[in-house]
Structure 1
Amino acid sequence: MDSFYKYHVFFCTNQRAPDAERPSCGRRCDAERMLDYTKKRVKTLGLAGPGNVRINKAGCLDRCEQGPTVVVYPEGTWYTYFDEADLDEIVDSHLKDGKIVERLLIDQPS
């Protein structure tokens, strides 16, 4: 069975309290703004929509210590990022050309 989207991308935007024991992706690198940036970029490149790419926000993906985190399905490829240039590389390499961005990968959980 084919997936409705070629790539379905989830951005962790979870925000814990500033004094929480664990970090949160939403507080790192302004995750909500980065999600919006990526959505606009995917639309500008004509990659958005059924059969292609969908960008969604997610609550906690439970990888915040390694974050901010983004996961790309259907492969389940986990990335971190630091700025718009990193997100551009994920969009251009992975979402547009199908090539994983090795330098931004988060190790898969054991």
Structure 2
Amino acid sequence: MAEADPPPYFEAHVFVCCNRRPDGHKRGSCAASGSEALRDYMKARAKELGLKGVRVNQAGCLDRCEFGPTLVIYPEGIWYQVRTREDVDEVLAAHLVAGGRARRLMLTEKDVLPAKP
């Protein structure tokens, strides 16, 4: 009989890409698009909102650079593009407070780069 997995340590884990590439890199980078300030804002707002069991973390490259700044929320694995503090507020309210989705900001299976020739 297999042992059960332990319960999750966090109810939600938010990874905000803060990868930085050299200026002018063809793929760009989330940090160059302001992700570090957005991460800091999201951490502060989550605390202000009293979100328990939610961890907002910095991540290295999440490999969706062209859509950045990006973040992903687990355990669901939902991806978002956030460019402003208002976008961050929308994700917090819709996904982490209400348990729904911020559909306008979601990256879906349609958000992929064209195949390389």
TM-score (ref. length: structure 2) = 0.85
Match of 1:38 in 2: 42
* Residue 84 of structure 1 pairs with residue 49 of structure 2: no
Question: Hey, what does 2:115 align to over in structure 1?
Answer: none
How many angstroms apart in 2 are the aligned matches of 1:80 and 1:70? 7
RMSD: 1.4
Q: In the TM superposition, what is the alpha-carbon distance from 1:21 to its structure 2 partner? A: 2.0
Structure 2: runs of 5 or more not aligned: 113-117
Match of 2:59 in 1: 58
- Matched length: 106
**TM-score scaled by length of structure 1:** 0.90
How many percent identity over aligned positions?
A: 44
Q: Which protein has greater RCO, CA pairs closer than 8 Å, 6+ apart? A: 1
Equivalent of 1:9 in 6, 14, 17 = 14
Report runs of 4+ in structure 1 exceeding 2 Å deviation. Answer: none
One-letter code of the match for 1:25? C
Report the Cα offset of residue 81 of structure 1: 1.1
Larger Rg: 2
| Cα separation, 2, equivalents of 1:47 and 1:97 | 11
